[in-house]
């Protein structure tokens, strides 16, 4: 059994090398593909199949079914199938298989959850924390930047002072797939960052938010700090960095209605990813409709009488 699994390693290793060397995929992306394709390898070995390139459509359906029986969520199964599609498509382009066994196979639909967000008042309550506490200037700059620019946690951790252009109020970030983009920084965030830099004396090459060893702060440290700061500010939601990104996107979209613009700001490769932020407060919309439309006034008890 072990030999059957190890015999399937070469095609996967070649594909991962392609992602790393030619596609410049991030370590996080590589790890995700590796996990999903290793699951395929292990399943193939259990079926005494020595080469994953020999799997047929019925095999892939059985692979998905096995994951479902094991309790994997619909989202996890979708991710596995997505990795398999990319894997087999690459080998198909290189003539190693005649057809992709994944074509036409669909994972169960995942229930799409709307992102949890802070409303505008809660966001202001969070970011306007006092700066006279230990690390207060840093914490204020951190929160203001998250909410001002909608950056990912990994993007904030990687920022150095050279990436911030105060003259143009733009910050250059490297997002998923090593794609670079320029993102506006609001005036409150710029002011907080300026105060933090003056206090910390950060050089151009230094991380904007350094950790204890002088290198970039860890993602876990920021997650814990934001949770603590939210509680300190009287917010008892589960506040985390991605919630601030959700809040940024939701508030910008509700004000502007510009889905493409929000897509660019967030660095989404696919606008379908951005469309999750098109959720709106329908009670708010009803009030706007009632106030604005000449024939929208609702029937009252007096009208009936």
Give the residue numbers annotated as catalytic, written as ranges.
152, 176, 242, 245, 268, 277
Residues in Cβ contact with 31 at an 8 Å cutoff, skipping those fewer than 6 apart: none
Query: What does the CA dihedral 253, 256, 260, 262 come to, rounded to 10 degrees?
Result: -40
Helix or strand (DSSP H, E) at 187: helix 187-200
The closest alpha carbon to 183, from 100, 114, 249, 98, belongs to 249
Q: Which tokens sit at 13?
A: 């290793």
- Report d(CA 184, CA 172) in Å as an integer: 9
Alpha-carbon distance of 42 to 109, in angstroms, equals 25
User: Which pair of structure tokens corresponds to residue 256?
Assistant: 């502007």
Angstrom distance (rounded) from CA 236 to CA 118 = 11
Q: How far apart are CA 263 and CA 282, in angstroms?
A: 23
Residue 7 token pair: 């015999």
Asked if residue 68 lies in contact with residue 77, where contact means CB atoms within 8 angstroms, the answer is: yes
């Amino acid at each position: 059994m072990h030999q059957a699994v190890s015999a399937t390693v070469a095609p996967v290793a070649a594909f991962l090398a392609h992602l790393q060397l030619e596609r410049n995929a991030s370590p996080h992306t590589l790890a995700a593909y590796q996990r999903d394709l290793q699951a395929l390898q292990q399943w193939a070995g259990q079926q005494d199949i020595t080469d994953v390139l020999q799997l047929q459509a019925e095999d892939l359906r059985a692979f998905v079914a096995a994951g479902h029986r094991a309790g994997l969520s619909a989202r996890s199964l979708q991710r596995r199938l997505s990795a398999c599609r990319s894997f087999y498509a690459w080998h198909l382009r290189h003539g190693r298989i005649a057809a992709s066994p994944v074509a036409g196979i669909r994972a169960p639909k995942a229930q799409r959850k709307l992102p949890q967000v802070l409303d505008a008042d809660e966001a202001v309550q969070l970011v306007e924390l006092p700066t006279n506490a230990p690390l207060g200037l840093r914490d204020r700059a951190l929160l203001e930047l998250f909410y001002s620019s909608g950056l990912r946690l990994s993007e904030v951790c990687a920022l150095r002072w050279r990436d911030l252009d105060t003259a143009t109020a733009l910050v250059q970030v490297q997002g998923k797939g090593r794609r670079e983009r320029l993102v506006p920084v609001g005036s409150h965030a710029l002011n907080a960052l300026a105060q933090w830099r003056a206090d910390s004396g950060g050089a151009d090459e230094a991380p904007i938010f350094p950790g204890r060893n002088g290198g970039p702060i860890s993602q876990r440290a920021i997650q814990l700090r934001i949770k603590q700061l939210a509680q300190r500010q009287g917010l008892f939601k589960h506040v985390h960095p991605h919630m601030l990104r959700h809040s940024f996107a939701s508030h910008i979209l509700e004000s502007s209605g510009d889905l493409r613009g929000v897509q660019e700001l967030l660095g989404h490769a696919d606008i379908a990813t951005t469309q999750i932020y098109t959720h709106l407060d329908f009670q708010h919309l009803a009030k706007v409709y009632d106030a604005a439309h000449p024939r929208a006034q609702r029937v009252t008890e007096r009208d009936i009488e």
